[in-house]
Amino acid sequence: MAARTRIKQGLLQTLVHQLCHSSSYYSASVVARSGASATRVSSSAAAPASSSASSTLGSSIQSEKTVVEAAQAVEPKAALERSKLLVLGGNGFVGTHACQEALSRHLPVVSMSRSGRPAATVHDDPWINNVTWVRGDIFHPERWKDTIPLEEVSAVISCVGGFGSDEQMLKINGEANIAAINAASKSGVKRFVFISALDYGLPSFVLRGYYKGKKSAEEELLRKFPYGGVILRPGFIHGNRQVGSLKIPLSAIGAPLEMLLKNAKPASRLPLVGNFLMPPVKVTSVARAAVRSAIDNAVPPGVLDVWSIKRLGDH
């Protein structure tokens, strides 16, 4: 009888031992994947690494050698997800359309601009509530980087640009975007899409700061994002442009012109006059091409001219 009991106890101990060891593989792999710390293990002798494992199964197993004190489950720590799309200048003409395009693809969208959320009286469409609007000046990434954790951003689309004096144009088209490119690059953002502009080859004194600024930002982008930097160079962009409470229907001119020039690709390659024969593009096409460039690794880094924007954005 005593011998039988000893055999039973022996079997039980072997079973407990097996359980401890077989669960160690499970735990080690979870810990390795999650990077979470293992639960605390105390032991009369030095605790074998495997003993922490049993704790992950939620059991409190005691044996002569090992005591597992904390029987808490090791939750796989959520990997830092880069899922957000950051639209710089998301409340502007191109920016609002880029935000809508991204939302239609169920992407979480954050927009940053100095004025933040568009006034309700101006844009009262429901999509506005689905964007996270952040107020910030692109020149001061150190201020908005805390509000927008760039570590969670997978791609940036910059729609920031503008007109003014030569100095102002150089600043907003060039320096502002360079600051954003550098902040994004430092934070490990994978793709950066820059809405630049077609250079019509105007005399150098016309819009000098504008084109110089765009060019310097383009160069910085290709340097900092050699594998994920996409530059869009549209000419005239048409659609409904909101100015205050007014909607300006730029398509009244843009759409017929686009239709007229849509087959002018060979002529658009002519020196000097060629760029004037580039068709205007719909704002929705620019937005679609920008979002696709931001999320699709199949879009190669480099420049998308008007024809490429249409090819990517029209369908």
Ligand X SMILES: NC(=O)c1ccc[n+]([C@@H]2O[C@H](COP(=O)([O-])OP(=O)(O)OC[C@H]3O[C@@H](n4cnc5c(N)ncnc54)[C@H](OP(=O)(O)O)[C@@H]3O)[C@@H](O)[C@H]2O)c1
| Binding-site ranges for ligand X (CB under 6 A) | 89, 91-95, 113-115, 137-139, 159-162, 172, 176, 195, 197, 234, 236-237
Distance in Å, CB of 251 to ligand X, minimum: 12
State how far the Cα of 287 lies from the Cα of 46, in Å rounded to an integer.
62
Nearer to ligand X by Cβ, of 55 and 196: the residue is 196
State how far the Cα of 137 lies from the Cα of 114, in Å rounded to an integer.
5
**Cα angle vertex 204, ends 200, 209, to 5°?**
90
Distance in Å, CB of 272 to ligand X, minimum: 20
Which residue matches tokens 């900092």? 224
The structure tokens listed for 185 are: 């690059």
Nearer to ligand X by Cβ, of 221 and 237: the residue is 237
| Cβ–Cβ under 8 Å, residues 217 and 211 | no
Distance in Å, CB of 166 to ligand X, minimum: 15
Distance in Å, CB of 137 to ligand X, minimum: 5
Backbone angles phi, psi at 22, to 5 degrees: -70, -30
Nearer to ligand X by Cβ, of 16 and 122: the residue is 122
Task: For strands 66-68 and 41-43, give the pairing.
Answer: antiparallel
Nearer to ligand X by Cβ, of 162 and 301: the residue is 162
Distance in Å, CB of 69 to ligand X, minimum: 53
The structure tokens listed for 272 are: 């000097």
State how far the Cα of 25 lies from the Cα of 291, in Å rounded to an integer.
43
Nearer to ligand X by Cβ, of 141 and 228: the residue is 141
